[in-house]
Amino acid sequence: MINAQILAALRTFEAASGALSFTRAAAKLNVTTGAVSQQIKHLESQLGFKLFDRLPRGLRLTAEGQQLYAVVHRCLLDLDSCVQRLQHQMLEGHIRFRSTPSLLFKWLVPRLHRFHARYPDIHVETFAEEALLKTEPRDFDLAIDYSFGEYPELEAEKLLPEILFPVASPDYAAGRDWRDPAAWQGLTLLHDSVPWRGAARDAEWRYYLDQIGLGAVESARGHYFNRADLAIEAAAAGLGVALARGSLIDSDLASGRLVAPLPSVDACCAYYLIYRPGALDDVRIRVFFDWLRGLPESAA
């Protein structure tokens, strides 16, 4: 009768048989040589026959050991192949992913090829919302939203902190005293009119100006856009000054297409990963979730 102890010891026996060395088997199994030797002795005692001849320079399988090794080795290979096949089946299929267009275009899409290279059989169906992420109906497996992280009946984990700072084209930024409140009267503010759910149309600019000591500057004037990336494009075209989120602007700053005339402040919101309770029990969703959490904040 093969009991649980014998089954547990057979893996050690297989490793020792393949290496013909308790020391090399111990290294493979990440245990001590003494532990391997004791387990083999106990296995031989339970089976009622010797498995190895202990020689001055190593081990040699007995006739009984050779027969047992052939069966155990084949069975473990079959088990390993079966497990890999089942794991592969769990890592194929579709994931429904949603986020706001600005984050998708500027932050996720340039990196998404890395996930597909690692998990070629998981297909991420990516949907861009208009401006704010709609959590009802909840027709997504994972989503990223820019918010305060409050989602009734959903799970939310902070993915990326955010910073805010003004950006403008080099020509528009030149020759201005950006620290002088009076100089701001001649500037055209470019707004993301829906920076987060429930926000006033000028809420993001109002927040930034208050944070850097320019509270006297009137924040509601200028042009409004329903997406942050549209406001950024308008700034690059010389229409005015937009308030940029650091995670979405790296390439434009690096190329010199936009400049940042004032320092950044920590944003009041952040990007959150959102999912239904229990969604991470699905292996496909879990690996995409973990991959997203491991991405750098800036482009690489």
Q: Could you report the per-residue pLDDT of 65-119, keeping only the tens digit for each?
A: 999 999 998 888 878 877 766 666 666 788 999 998 888 888 898 899 999 998 8
> Buried b vs exposed e over 23-44: b needs ≥16 C-beta within 10 Å?
ebbbeebeeeeeebbebbeebb
Q: Which CATH superfamily is domain 163-266 in?
A: Periplasmic binding protein-like II (3.40.190.10)
Query: Do residues 102 and 162 touch, judged by C-beta distance below 8 A?
Result: no
Structural fold of domain 4-90: Arc Repressor Mutant, subunit A (1.10.10)
Number of other CB atoms surrounding residue 278 within 10 Å: 9
pLDDT score for 93? 86
The pLDDT of residue 189 is above 90: yes
- The residue-averaged pLDDT of 7-24 equals 89
Q: Rounded to an integer, what distance in angstroms lies between the CA atom of residue 7 and that of residue 91?
A: 29
Q: How confident is the model at residue 205 (pLDDT cuts 50, 70, 90)?
A: very high
- The residue-averaged pLDDT of 239-256 equals 92
Pairing mode, strands 223-225 and 189-192: parallel
pLDDT score for 137? 55
* β-sheet with 223-225: strand ranges across: 223-225, 189-192, 241-245, 163-167, 265-266
- The residue-averaged pLDDT of 240-254 equals 92
Q: Rounded to an integer, what distance in angstroms lies between the CA atom of residue 245 and that of residue 250?
A: 9
Q: What CATH number is given for 93-159+273-293 in this structure?
A: 3.40.190.10
What is the three-class DSSP state of 140? coil
What one-character DSSP code corresponds to residue 185?
G
Rounded to 5 degrees, φ, ψ at 273 are -85, 130
- The residue-averaged pLDDT of 232-260 equals 93
pLDDT score for 136? 63
pLDDT score for 88? 61
Selected residue with higher pLDDT from 267 and 90: 267
- By percentage, how much of the chain surpasses pLDDT 70? 93
Q: Rounded to an integer, what distance in angstroms lies between the CA atom of residue 231 and that of residue 225?
A: 6
Model pLDDT for residues 34-73, shown as the tens digit of each residue: 999 999 999 999 999 999 999 888 889 999 999 999 999 8
The pLDDT of residue 166 is above 60: yes
What one-character DSSP code corresponds to residue 28?
H
Query: Do residues 255 and 211 touch, judged by C-beta distance below 8 A?
Result: no
Return mean pLDDT, the chain: 88
The pLDDT of residue 172 is above 70: yes
Strands in the chain per DSSP E:
52-55, 58-61, 93-99, 122-128, 142-147, 155-160, 163-167, 189-192, 223-225, 241-245, 265-266, 270-275
- What are 256's two structure tokens? 């010199």
The pLDDT of residue 20 is above 70: yes
pLDDT score for 299? 45
Pairing mode, strands 155-160 and 163-167: unpaired
Listed in order, the ranges of the chain carrying CATH 1.10.10.10 are 4-90
- In this structure, of 70-84, 104-118, 164-178, 205-219, the range with the lowest mean pLDDT score is 70-84
The amino acid sitting at 39 is Q
Listed in order, the ranges of the chain carrying CATH 3.40.190.10 are 93-159+273-293, 163-266
Is the whole model's pTM more than 0.75, yes or no? no
Q: How confident is the model at residue 226 (pLDDT cuts 50, 70, 90)?
A: confident
